[in-house]
Amino acid sequence: MIWIPGIDEIPMSVSKIHKEEKAITFRDVGEATHALYQMKPGDKIGVRGPYGNGFRFPKGHLLFVGGGTGIAMLAPAVEIALQQHRKITVILGVKTQQELFFKDRFTSRGASVIVSTDDGTCGKKGTAATCVQTILNEIDCSAVLTCGPEMMMKAVFDLCKHLPFQASLERYMKCGIGLCGQCCVDTGLRVCTEGPVFTGEQLQNMQDFGVFTRDASGSKKKLSGTEL
């Protein structure tokens, strides 16, 4: 949980976990992130946590699928898996080339990286899910780990139900320690404690997954583009 004094406290994923340096990566999209973006070296923020759980690495060839800013959350997981000498393939899906980041960071550490863009300006034209469908026919994948827009993750999940699967969900969090219920999904699981990383078995029973999210007030909100 990152506190921007006088503005808000918001949940963020850590994009770098090195002994000498920790980092978060974000887009300037709202009041809190805009205030954070405007900060200068020496300005102070508050940090609470970390909370919840992370990815677990089964044996074999791991397929990481990142979409948009979800790529940032995958970065430390990919690096830790590589340090454990795991075989890694990473799919990075973004709307356009200008939104692509961390590709060189992954390749420089030994990961095989595939890029997809919605407009075809870099890598394969199409979505990350389209790339997943192709790559599953080319590699003997042992597990899929993903973070990104929820509709993207749901599409990937539908393609990978036969494989061990883990996805990091995003919901508004207020207390961050499982008390307020703001980040509950329909089964009563809390993203801040039982999540943010959920298994395929847990996701299979979540009727909200890929269909509903919650706004800042806690009210259910249908994800854009979904049909009931």
Question: pLDDT of 142-181, one tens digit each?
Answer: 999 999 999 999 999 999 989 999 999 988 888 888 998 8
CA angle, 182 then 38 then 19, to 5°? 75
- Numbered ranges of CATH 3.40.50.80 in the chain: 61-222
Listed residue (190, 221, 218) closest to 206, CA to CA: 190
pLDDT of residue 40: 96
Q: Does domain 61-222 have CATH number 3.40.50.80?
A: yes
How far, in Å, CA of 133 to CA of 157, rounded? Answer: 11
pLDDT of residue 220: 84
Phi, psi of 121 (to 5 degrees): -75, -10
pLDDT at residue number 209: 92
Residues in Cβ contact with 168 at an 8 Å cutoff, skipping those fewer than 6 apart: 13, 55, 70, 73, 146, 147, 195, 196, 197, 198
CA distances from 167 to 52, 62, 129, 192 (A): 13, 13, 14, 14
Which amino acid, residue 123?
Answer: G
Tell me the C-alpha distance between 18 and 49, whole Å. 16
Hunting for tokens 């029973």 — which residue is that?
205
Low pLDDT (below 50) residues in the chain: 227-228
10 backbone dihedrals φ, ψ, rounded to 5° = -135, 150
188: left (phi over 0), alpha (psi -120 to 50) or beta: left
Helices (H), 17-166: 31-37, 70-83, 103-108, 128-135, 150-159
DSSP code at position 223: P
Q: Which two tokens stand for residue 115?
A: 């890029």
Which pLDDT belongs to residue 228?
36
Here the tokens at position 95 are 């709307």
Tell me, what's the pLDDT at 225? 61
Closest CA to 138 of 117, 124, 153: 124
Q: What was the pLDDT predicted at 226?
A: 54
Angle at the Cα of 208 from the Cα atoms of 192 and 188, rounded to 5 degrees: 45
Token duo for residue 211: 């269909």
Please tell me the predicted confidence (pLDDT) of residue 71.
93
